[in-house]
Protein backbone atom coordinates (compact mmCIF):
# COMPACT_ATOMS: atom_id res chain seq x y z
CA UNK A 1 0.00 0.00 0.00
CA UNK A 2 1.12 3.45 -0.78
CA UNK A 3 0.13 6.51 1.12
CA UNK A 4 -3.56 7.26 0.50
CA UNK A 5 -3.98 4.75 -2.38
CA UNK A 6 -5.04 1.15 -2.35
CA UNK A 7 -3.54 -1.09 -5.01
CA UNK A 8 -5.59 -4.13 -5.97
CA UNK A 9 -4.01 -7.04 -7.77
CA UNK A 10 -5.15 -7.52 -11.37
CA UNK A 11 -6.52 -10.91 -12.37
CA UNK A 12 -5.25 -11.51 -15.91
CA UNK A 13 -8.04 -13.99 -16.68
CA UNK A 14 -10.79 -11.43 -16.18
CA UNK A 15 -8.91 -8.36 -17.34
CA UNK A 16 -10.75 -6.33 -19.95
CA UNK A 17 -8.52 -6.04 -22.99
CA UNK A 18 -10.50 -3.16 -24.47
CA UNK A 19 -8.11 -0.69 -22.87
CA UNK A 20 -5.06 -2.37 -24.37
CA UNK A 21 -6.50 -2.80 -27.88
CA UNK A 22 -6.11 -6.58 -27.78
CA UNK A 23 -9.17 -8.54 -28.89
CA UNK A 24 -10.60 -11.32 -26.78
CA UNK A 25 -10.10 -14.79 -28.33
CA UNK A 26 -13.81 -15.18 -29.13
CA UNK A 27 -13.69 -11.92 -31.10
CA UNK A 28 -10.88 -13.09 -33.38
CA UNK A 29 -10.75 -15.55 -36.25
CA UNK A 30 -8.01 -17.63 -34.63
CA UNK A 31 -10.24 -19.87 -32.54
CA UNK A 32 -12.36 -22.32 -34.54
CA UNK A 33 -15.53 -23.94 -33.27
CA UNK A 34 -18.30 -26.12 -34.65
CA UNK A 35 -20.19 -23.13 -36.00
CA UNK A 36 -17.16 -22.02 -37.99
CA UNK A 37 -16.59 -25.46 -39.44
CA UNK A 38 -20.17 -26.04 -40.57
CA UNK A 39 -21.74 -29.36 -41.45
CA UNK A 40 -21.59 -31.28 -44.68
CA UNK A 41 -24.17 -34.06 -44.97
CA UNK A 42 -23.10 -37.49 -46.20
CA UNK A 43 -23.10 -38.09 -49.95
CA UNK A 44 -25.61 -40.95 -49.73
CA UNK A 45 -28.23 -42.15 -47.30
CA UNK A 46 -26.96 -44.47 -44.53
CA UNK A 47 -29.59 -47.05 -45.49
CA UNK A 48 -27.77 -47.62 -48.77
CA UNK A 49 -24.84 -49.02 -46.81
CA UNK A 50 -27.10 -51.79 -45.51
CA UNK A 51 -27.42 -53.40 -48.92
CA UNK A 52 -30.99 -52.34 -49.65
CA UNK A 53 -31.36 -51.35 -53.29
CA UNK A 54 -33.29 -48.33 -54.47
CA UNK A 55 -35.82 -50.60 -56.19
CA UNK A 56 -36.50 -52.46 -52.93
CA UNK A 57 -37.02 -49.21 -51.07
CA UNK A 58 -39.31 -47.92 -53.81
CA UNK A 59 -41.38 -51.12 -53.69
CA UNK A 60 -42.04 -50.56 -49.97
CA UNK A 61 -43.53 -47.12 -50.61
CA UNK A 62 -47.30 -46.84 -50.32
CA UNK A 63 -49.38 -44.38 -52.34
CA UNK A 64 -51.24 -41.57 -50.61
CA UNK A 65 -54.78 -42.52 -49.77
CA UNK A 66 -57.56 -40.24 -51.00
CA UNK A 67 -60.24 -39.19 -48.52
CA UNK A 68 -63.12 -40.06 -50.83
CA UNK A 69 -63.26 -41.85 -54.14
CA UNK A 70 -65.01 -38.88 -55.80
CA UNK A 71 -62.35 -36.31 -54.86
CA UNK A 72 -60.75 -34.43 -57.71
CA UNK A 73 -57.60 -33.84 -55.59
CA UNK A 74 -57.72 -30.09 -56.21
CA UNK A 75 -57.46 -28.34 -52.87
CA UNK A 76 -59.21 -31.12 -51.00
CA UNK A 77 -58.89 -31.01 -47.25
CA UNK A 78 -60.55 -33.04 -44.56
CA UNK A 79 -61.65 -30.28 -42.17
CA UNK A 80 -62.70 -27.53 -44.64
CA UNK A 81 -64.40 -27.15 -47.98
CA UNK A 82 -60.90 -26.97 -49.34
CA UNK A 83 -61.92 -26.13 -52.86
CA UNK A 84 -59.96 -23.69 -54.97
CA UNK A 85 -62.96 -21.39 -55.37
CA UNK A 86 -64.67 -20.70 -52.08
CA UNK A 87 -68.25 -19.44 -51.98
CA UNK A 88 -67.26 -16.73 -49.48
CA UNK A 89 -64.88 -15.06 -51.93
CA UNK A 90 -65.93 -13.00 -54.91
CA UNK A 91 -65.08 -14.00 -58.44
CA UNK A 92 -63.39 -10.74 -59.44
CA UNK A 93 -60.15 -9.36 -58.06
CA UNK A 94 -60.13 -5.88 -56.60
CA UNK A 95 -57.54 -3.42 -57.80
CA UNK A 96 -55.34 -1.15 -55.77
CA UNK A 97 -57.21 0.92 -53.22
CA UNK A 98 -55.91 4.48 -53.08
CA UNK A 99 -56.98 7.12 -50.58
CA UNK A 100 -58.57 10.31 -51.87
CA UNK A 101 -55.36 12.24 -51.25
CA UNK A 102 -53.44 9.49 -53.10
CA UNK A 103 -51.48 8.60 -49.99
CA UNK A 104 -49.97 12.04 -49.45
CA UNK A 105 -50.60 14.21 -46.43
CA UNK A 106 -51.48 13.59 -42.83
CA UNK A 107 -54.12 11.04 -41.91
CA UNK A 108 -56.57 13.15 -39.93
CA UNK A 109 -59.87 11.50 -40.86
CA UNK A 110 -61.58 9.15 -38.45
CA UNK A 111 -62.79 7.10 -41.42
CA UNK A 112 -60.96 5.99 -44.51
CA UNK A 113 -62.33 6.46 -47.98
CA UNK A 114 -60.57 5.00 -50.98
CA UNK A 115 -61.15 4.35 -54.65
CA UNK A 116 -60.38 1.27 -56.69
CA UNK A 117 -57.85 2.40 -59.31
CA UNK A 118 -57.50 -0.97 -61.00
CA UNK A 119 -54.86 -3.65 -61.09
CA UNK A 120 -51.36 -2.23 -61.43
CA UNK A 121 -50.05 -4.15 -64.42
CA UNK A 122 -50.85 -7.47 -62.74
CA UNK A 123 -47.90 -7.08 -60.37
CA UNK A 124 -49.91 -7.30 -57.17
CA UNK A 125 -48.49 -8.50 -53.91
CA UNK A 126 -49.99 -11.63 -52.36
CA UNK A 127 -52.05 -9.51 -50.00
CA UNK A 128 -53.44 -7.40 -52.84
CA UNK A 129 -54.17 -10.45 -54.97
CA UNK A 130 -56.16 -11.99 -52.13
CA UNK A 131 -58.68 -9.13 -52.09
CA UNK A 132 -61.79 -9.92 -54.15
CA UNK A 133 -65.03 -8.09 -54.81
CA UNK A 134 -68.05 -9.48 -53.02
CA UNK A 135 -71.57 -8.38 -53.91
CA UNK A 136 -73.10 -7.08 -50.65
CA UNK A 137 -76.56 -8.16 -51.78
CA UNK A 138 -75.49 -11.81 -51.54
CA UNK A 139 -74.84 -11.57 -47.80
Q: What is the DSSP letter of 132?
A: E
Q: Is residue 39 part of a domain?
A: no
Q: Is residue 74 part of a domain?
A: no
How far apart (Å, rounded) are the C-alpha atoms in residues 70 and 61? Answer: 24
Q: Is residue 131 part of a domain?
A: yes
How many independent structural domains does the chain possess?
1
Quick one: how far is CA 31 from the chain centroid?
32
pLDDT digits (tens, 9 = 90+) for 83-103: 555 666 677 777 777 887 877
- The reported pTM is 0.29
The domain in which residue 122 lies consists of 92-138
pLDDT digits (tens, 9 = 90+) for 24-66: 777 777 777 767 777 788 887 776 677 778 888 888 888 876 5
Q: Is residue 107 part of a domain?
A: yes
Amino acid sequence: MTAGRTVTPVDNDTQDNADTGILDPEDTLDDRNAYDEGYSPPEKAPILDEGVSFGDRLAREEPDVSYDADDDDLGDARDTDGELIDDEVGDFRAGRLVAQDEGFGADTDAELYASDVGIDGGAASAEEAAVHLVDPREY
